[in-house]
Amino acid sequence: MIFNGIEINKITDYLWEIPKSGKMTVPGRIYTSEKMLEKCIGKDESLKQVINVAQFPGIQKYSLAMPDIHWGYGFPIGGVAATDFETGVISPGGVGYDINCGVRLAKTDLCFDQIKNKIPDIITGLFQSIPTGVGASGAISKISGKEVMQILVKGSEWAAEREMATENDIEFTEEKGCLKNADPSFVSARAIERGMDQAGTLGSGNHFLEIDIVDEIFDERAANVMGLFKNQIVLLIHTGSRGLGYQICDDYLRKFLNAGNKYGINIPDKQLICVPVNSGEGEAYFSAMNCAANFAWNNRQIIMNLANKSLEKTLRIKEKDLGFGLIYDVCHNIAKIEEHNIDGKIKKVCVHRKGATRAFAPGSANIPLKYKEIGQPVLIPGDMGRYSFIAVGTAKAMDETFGSSCHGAGRLQSRHQALLTGKGRDLIGDLKKKGIEIQTKGLKTIAEEMPFAYKDVSDVVDTMHNAGISKKVARIRPLGVIKG
């Protein structure tokens, strides 16, 4: 079929392919249902971006898109691409500005009935404890540039050394909260400066902290392994590397301006600027990106620690009775060097996941022992008015998507469109009618992030579940939200 001028063929009910043509060296593949394809996908330039990425030097198998795909900087958000380590490229646009934007899910031993009358107090306490909004700072005492550089190398371990993280927290964070190839000498002074007062801050935009209730269990066995049960109170954190990560991306986009001429790389979009993975420039960006990823893991760890203390204070509850603990932390804006089966051979590749979550299968060496039998937890936040999902990775993901799945709902409307849609509406009142308390720095953020601005995340998650890429474990529903 021809869809918005692009040929796209149905492979299964949940997988569609753009055939290789022109300068594409691999096909494009989009995980979606026909309903989502017609209703949500292709209204922007995201399918054209899938085609553009398929022209990358050294790209392997497919240019992939998850069902939450929408237009992004160069790469589509919801895009996955693996490039050969020896002959391929690495692209800042394939990671994004918010390096290691990710999600962290923490459990409690509390049931809804124990806190149902205290949600407003809980949200007020969290909002007072965790700095939110553009330029948010002051979660902990302002740290020196030297300390920031230690965070860039140590990641979550920096928080552990200061009694803001436990061994459990480190174990259940992707990569144990620290990518080893991180060298602060490749990070600019400006980026270091921007990170000096942003450790433990939530930021703005689609970043949030939620108190949620587990309202449905799909896989009892996997839920038991994770420690999830019906009506349980859990906490979801979504944020990234803040201004430090943004600056690193911006710095390297400028540094790579002449790389195309130097290496003879022709790209269809200047936003896809890239360099060979194993070039000096590629190694420098990779090291700096790893630094930002470590900063982000440490950031979410500090926020989790602040939230723990806030809950204990607000509820006047002891640590052992709260039962607060990390289930898992995943990143969804990253490039990693991994080994995957490419046409029957194990190859080293650079996997770009931009708005996509790692979804490794049961038995994978890179996931905690606790989750070996069920697969890596995959955390998929929705919008603040509906629900989010917890899933697990599968063997099929390893075969088809380089061990990747969706990362969220995906936008339906731009932020500007959402503001127009929300004009004149009592947005806070709309959320309260659904039983959701919210505190934020401004009404503009609420309008930009209302449910009408997003796809229904259940459609996204069901697509990946039915395609066999990630399997649903549980659904959680927001009771209270803080945002910037």
First vs last Cα of the chain: how many Å apart?
43
Does the active-site annotation cover 407?
Answer: yes
**Alpha-carbon distance 408 to 456, whole Å?**
9
Query: Which position among 70, 332, 352, 407 bears the catalytic label?
Result: 407
HSE at residue 46, side-chain half, CA atoms within 13 A, is 27
- The contacts of residue 370 (CB under 8 Å, 6+ apart) are 171, 172, 225
Record the tokens describing residue 98, joined without a space: 């918010």
**Alpha-carbon distance 260 to 395, whole Å?**
37
**Alpha-carbon distance 60 to 26, whole Å?**
7
**Alpha-carbon distance 17 to 64, whole Å?**
9
- The contacts of residue 215 (CB under 8 Å, 6+ apart) are 230, 231, 387, 475, 476, 477
Owner of token pair 């954190």: 237
**Alpha-carbon distance 129 to 172, whole Å?**
24
Query: CB–CB of 438/446 below 8 Å?
Result: yes
**Alpha-carbon distance 481 to 45, whole Å?**
31
Query: What positions carry a catalytic annotation?
Result: 407
